[in-house]
Amino acid sequence: MQGNHLNEFIDDLHHNPEKEIAYQGVKYMIRGYFNPDDGVYTLEACTIEAEPRILFSHSSSDRHECVEAFVNTQIFNGKTLYEAEQNIDVLYG
């Protein structure tokens, strides 16, 4: 991973992140937000393109559950974050 250490990147996902990354020519936005009305945290990932595609969305009162679901989902051309991390460039966040 260029521009961030993997462990720091994952830690940031617990704290309402807004990150822009690139993997194999595709840009992604990863964002998390907390709804104080119901105590639910949502973590999402989508492509950044003319017609964005939501590739991942997980909501839970347990932030760690959301992060674990994200890092284990195969959204990077069939790879998880762990499998793709060597080819990920962190552009923002």
Q: Which domain holds residue 29?
A: 6-92
The H or E element that residue 11 is part of is helix 6-12
pLDDT at 17: 87
Give the C-alpha separation, 63 to 40, whole Å. Answer: 8
Q: Which residue has the tokens 């994952």?
A: 10
Q: Per the domain annotation, does 22 fall within a domain?
A: yes
3-state secondary structure of 50: coil
Q: Per the domain annotation, does 37 fall within a domain?
A: yes
Predicted TM-score (pTM) of the model is: 0.93
Q: Per the domain annotation, does 55 fall within a domain?
A: yes
Instruction: Report whether 28 contacts 20 (CB < 8 A).
Output: yes
Q: Per the domain annotation, does 84 fall within a domain?
A: yes
Cβ neighbours of residue 80 closer than 8 Å, sequence gap 6 or more: 71, 72, 73, 74
Query: What's the number of domains the chain is made of?
Result: 1
Q: Per the domain annotation, does 1 fall within a domain?
A: no
pLDDT single digits (tens) 61-80: 999 999 999 999 999 999 99
